[in-house]
Amino acid sequence: MTEQQALDPLTAMLMQNPPRDALEFRAILDGFALALNGTLPDIGGSDDDVTLFRAGGVNVTADIHRPKGDGPFPVLVYLHGGGWIMGTPKTHRRLAFRFAEAGYLVVNVHYRLAPEFPFPAAFDDCVAAIRWVVDNIAGYGGDPARLAVGGDSAGGNLTAAAVAALRGEVDIKAVLLIYPALDFANMNAADSELPIGGNMMEMMVDSYIGHDREALIKDWRVSPVHAADRLPSVHLMCGTADSLMKDANALVARLREAGLEHEFVTYPDMPHGFAQMEEMFPQARVCIARMIGFLREHV
């Protein structure tokens, strides 16, 4: 563990009180993430818990955050992180508000979570949510012709996979990949460099694809590094203290090989999840501003 990881409050909390199972892990992480959303940017308004469709017997919803002013606005579909087992639009509310503050209509999707709903539930929900946005977002003041998709960590995984699945069907102008998990072959519980610990990584992997791990681990819908050639313009960012740097570097190599437009930004000594930790890391606002600049160039 690096010095920066040792100073990361999330890592310290998890190492001191490791969860016993995926549901306890969810409760700990959701509680931590919700605490990061106390002070919110000033935006035009928010329509929360909008039902998009039903799947698996439950409603798949989204919080829709509106900028100030008059639309139609460019649209960002946001897919939250949380290791496929935790997180909600509420845990990532301030980050989504930052994009709305900058003029984007943000659809913050509440996809189904494992272990209750393993793969392909989250993937299917994210694909269907993007289709819903194309068909319905004009009614909320959004312009479906100016569409981007973004997400952090597991949400970055789902962003890359869903956008790849919709290539040729939906005109997505750009993607934001925020310290994304892109290759399940790298998610090895024995890897001592994992900042959250091998047992917790195993909870996420087993919850999401444990029912058919051997067959799914190289499926591009699970490991979208294998679908890099299906992506539009990409902004990829990661902190150097994040074990997912290896995934970021692998994606960059494939994007270069395919000759695809991309921007790769690294943040020295930053841990996983830092974009949500504005009070702890000034670099959070720097990386958000950089992503907004990328969106303004492409969407």
Annotate 45-94 with DSSP letters as a single string.
EEEEEEEEEEETTEEEEEEEEEPSS-SPEEEEEEE--STTTS--TTTTHH
Peptide bond into 268 cis (omega under 30): no
How does pLDDT run across 221-252, given as a tens digit for each residue? 999 999 999 999 999 999 999 989 999 999 99
Q: What 3-state DSSP class applies to 236?
A: strand
Interstrand relation of 73-79 and 45-55 (parallel, antiparallel or unpaired): unpaired
pLDDT of residue 17: 72
Split at pLDDT 50, 70, 90, the class of 5 is very low
pLDDT at 3 over 60: no
pLDDT of residue 11: 66
Split at pLDDT 50, 70, 90, the class of 171 is very high
Arithmetic mean of pLDDT, 49-72: 97
Paired tokens of 240: 């150097």
pLDDT of residue 193: 43
Please, what CATH class does the domain formed by 3-298 belong to? Answer: alpha beta
How does pLDDT run across 188-205, given as a tens digit for each residue? 644 434 444 557 788 899
Q: How far is residue 140's CA from residue 208's CA, in Å, rounded to a whole number? A: 33
DSSP states of 128-185: HHHHHHHHHGGGGTEEEEEEEEEEETHHHHHHHHHHHHTTTTS---EEEEES----GG
Q: How far is residue 181's CA from residue 156's CA, in Å, rounded to a whole number? A: 7
Taking the CB of residue 32, how many other CB atoms lie within 10 A of it? 18
Split at pLDDT 50, 70, 90, the class of 23 is confident
Peptide bond into 271 cis (omega under 30): no
| Environment class of 118 (CB within 10 Å of its CB; exposed 0-12, middle 13-18, buried 19+) | buried
- Greatest CA separation for the chain: 52
pLDDT of residue 198: 55
Taking the CA atoms of 124, 125, 130 and 134 in sequence, report the sign of the dihedral they define: positive
